[in-house]
């Protein structure tokens, strides 16, 4: 969803490795374009929720996309339709970033215990920095 609003790959400027996986586990999320319709931002944020149980399933996503398509095709004045049309006009003027087009991304297994260990260290260091030790 992010790529459709920005014209760039998600995390385009990061190396796709275990460091990125840890950053995502710690809450790093890609940014949507500033002109993205509010309803689209809301759905994208739901899809990126750190709790998988709170993410919409594919049926919910398809239903939402069909609702938007019907609103846009209806051609009646509507806030959602207006936002999508304005966003589309702005997006046409933006350059498309193609720097990594030749890269091929494939699934790659990571050692989950290594990610967990690194997350634990981060949590422990954050907790330790929150401790107030009197003089």
Give the pLDDT band (50/70/90) at residue 97: low
CA distance 93 to 48: 27
State the greatest distance between any 2 C-alpha atoms of the chain, in Å, as a whole number.
Answer: 69
For residue 36, how many C-alpha atoms fall within 13 Å in the half-sphere facing its CB?
19
Residue 24 token pair: 């995502």
Average pLDDT estimate for 58-74: 92
Residue reference for tokens 């509507």 = 78
What pLDDT is attached to residue 55? 96
CA distance 135 to 124: 22
CA distance 60 to 53: 13
Average pLDDT estimate for 97-126: 68
Q: Is the pLDDT of residue 129 over 90?
A: no
Please report, rounded to a whole number, the percentage of residues in the chain having pLDDT higher than 70: 78
Please report, rounded to a whole number, the percentage of residues in the chain having pLDDT higher than 90: 24
Q: Is the pLDDT of residue 57 over 90?
A: yes
Question: How many CB atoms lie under 10 A from the CB of residue 74?
Answer: 10
Give the pLDDT band (50/70/90) at residue 121: confident
Q: Is the pLDDT of residue 98 over 60?
A: no
Residue 18 token pair: 């275990």
CA distance 33 to 50: 21
Q: pTM above the 0.85 mark?
A: no
């Amino acid at each position: 969803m992010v790529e459709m609003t920005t014209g760039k790959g998600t995390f385009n400027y990061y190396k796709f490795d275990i460091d990125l996986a840890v950053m995502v586990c710690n809450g790093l999320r890609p940014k949507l374009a500033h002109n993205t319709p509010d309803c689209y931002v809301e759905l994208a944020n739901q899809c990126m929720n750190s709790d998988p149980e709170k993410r919409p399933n594919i049926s919910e996503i398809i239903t939402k996309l069909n609702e938007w398509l019907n609103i846009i095709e209806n051609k009646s004045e509507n806030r959602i339709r207006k936002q999508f049309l304005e966003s589309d006009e702005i997006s046409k003027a933006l350059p498309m970033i193609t720097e990594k087009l030749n890269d091929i991304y494939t699934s790659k297994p990571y050692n989950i215990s290594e990610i967990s260990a690194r997350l634990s260290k981060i949590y422990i260091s954050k907790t330790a920095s929150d401790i107030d030790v009197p003089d």
